[in-house]
Amino acid sequence: MMNDVALLLARAALGASIASHGAQKQFGWFDGPGREKAAGFFASLGFTPGESYRDAAVAGEIGGAALTALGLGGPIGPLIVASTMLVAGRGVHAKNGFFMQKNGYELTSTYGIAALALAASGPGRFSLDAAFGWDETLRKPWVLAVGIAGALAAGLTVLARQSPDVQPSANGKTDTVEPATAQT
């Protein structure tokens, strides 16, 4: 019973935290930028068109967080969160080092690892999966393996589409980087 309560609390905490980031981008809540500024931010990082990447981030953050918090869909919600954190960590924060006070990847890696742990452990007894009787079906190892592969592929695909000409700098702003030229 204590494990199930712990899973519920972990799902709720991670879900609320991640959903709040999506709400910042979508609605401007919690001192967030709102839709227009979030799209501009994504474009400034080389994720163009910025509107599409903003919408994908919002869907991943709010949708993945909701599935995680509700314990619905087995590992799907936590893996969406993990994939979103892979993109945020590598595509935005990695150049700034580890610690958050320098806009580093500390928080994104913590969220991502927590999401992976929830994906692997399952949502527990106090979840919609358990209420619907889906928990045993969705806890098969192959479901987790396919989900991890999909989340990794999605995150790496997004990162591969980031323009190499724009990279975040240590001060949290963006620097234009000259494209590499071929040596003859």
pLDDT mean over 130-136 = 92
Q: Give the integer Cα–Cα distance in Å for 15 and 64.
A: 8
In a domain, residue 37? The reply is no
Residue 172 clears pLDDT 60, i.e. is over it: no
Summarised one tens digit per residue, pLDDT across range 64-106 is 999 999 999 999 999 999 999 999 999 999 999 999 999 999 9
In a domain, residue 158? The reply is yes
Burial 85-124 (b: 16+ CB within 10 A, else e): bbbbbbbbbbbbeeeeeebbbbbbbebbebbbebbebbbb
In a domain, residue 36? The reply is no
In a domain, residue 22? The reply is no
In a domain, residue 30? The reply is no
In a domain, residue 51? The reply is no
Q: Which domain holds residue 157?
A: 2-15+58-174
What is the domain count for the chain? 1
Q: Is the pTM of this model over 0.75?
A: yes
pLDDT the model gives residue 180: 31
Summarised one tens digit per residue, pLDDT across range 40-61 is 999 999 999 999 999 999 999 9
pLDDT mean over 117-145 = 93
